[in-house]
Structures are given as C-alpha cells and as structure tokens.
Amino acid sequence: MDSGTTEYKAEYKGYVIHVFCRTIKAGLHMASCAIWEDGAIVQDARAIGSQHATPDEAKAAAYAWARKWIDGNS
C-alpha cells in the first residue's frame, strides 16, 4: 500500500472487509477490497471502478461490492 492509499476495515456476516481507497487525481478516486474469512483472503478485487468523485463514494462502492459478493457466496 502506498502513502496515497487509505485503508478502511469493517465486518459483515463473519467476514472482514478491507477497503483501500486511492486518489488518482482531483475528482477521480479508485477503491479495491479484500475479503477475509478465518484469517485468510477469500476474494480480492483489485479495482472497483475509477470514476468516483470522492473518496467516500469509492469506499461506499467497494463496501457494496463486497457485501454483494458475501451475500452470494455464503
């Protein structure tokens, strides 16, 4: 993770979701996430879009993607 990346963490249905947000340039933000279960990565999404206007929008998109993945795979 580089210094321009911010990490967030949340739990959902027994999984831990790590979201990483990075500002590409002003008004352009990208997020990625890793979903962990029992101390191991079970899904790694490298990029959840790159057209987010704010870091909060990028973070919300990554969490929504992760929750959808968990709901479909648990």
pLDDT score of 3: 54
Residue keyed to tokens 């962990």: 36
For the beta carbon of residue 73, count every other beta carbon within 10 angstroms. Answer: 11
Q: Domain span at residue 15? A: 5-73
18 strand-pairing partners: 9, 34
Q: How far apart are CA 3 and CA 41, in angstroms?
A: 22
pLDDT digits (tens, 9 = 90+) for 39-72: 999 999 988 876 899 989 999 999 999 999 999 9
The 5-12 sheet, strands edge to edge: 5-12, 15-25, 28-37, 40-45
The structure's pTM equals 0.87
Domain count, the chain: 1
Model confidence band, residue 34 (pLDDT cutoffs 50, 70, 90)? very high
What's the rounded Cα separation, in Å, for the pair 11 and 24? Answer: 27
